[in-house]
């Protein structure tokens, strides 16, 4: 039962990855706008840029891991189909 629930939190395809990245971006931009209110000026803009940069890094890592998992499954399928 726990395994079935755990599978709900696994990113299985690019569509799900893009939804997760979008949610991260919305949250990061919200946090960045709060930084602009709290720290007006250059420091606020630097924190805003750091928030958006974190989304780019996380999104790239999510997509790379997803591609790696798909390639690994394909290699396992090819390896098991041969006698």
Q: Quickly list DSSP for 16-68.
A: HHHHHHHHHHHHHHHHHHHHHHHSTTHHHHHHHHHHHHHHHHHHHHHHHHHHH
Per-residue pLDDT tens digits for 26-72: 999 999 999 999 999 999 999 999 999 999 999 999 999 999 998 99
Q: Among residues 69, 65, 63, which one has the least CA distance to residue 22? A: 63
The model carries a pTM of 0.81
More confident residue, 43 or 76: 43
């Amino acid at each position: 039962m726990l395994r079935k629930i755990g599978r709900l939190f696994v990113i299985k395809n690019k569509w799900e990855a893009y939804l997760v990245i979008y949610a991260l971006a919305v949250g990061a931009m919200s946090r960045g706008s709060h930084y602009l209110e709290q720290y007006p000026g250059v420091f606020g803009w630097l924190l805003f840029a750091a928030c958006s940069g974190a989304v780019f890094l996380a999104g790239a890592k999510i997509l790379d891991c997803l591609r790696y998992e798909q390639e690994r499954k394909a290699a396992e399928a090819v390896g098991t189909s041969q006698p």
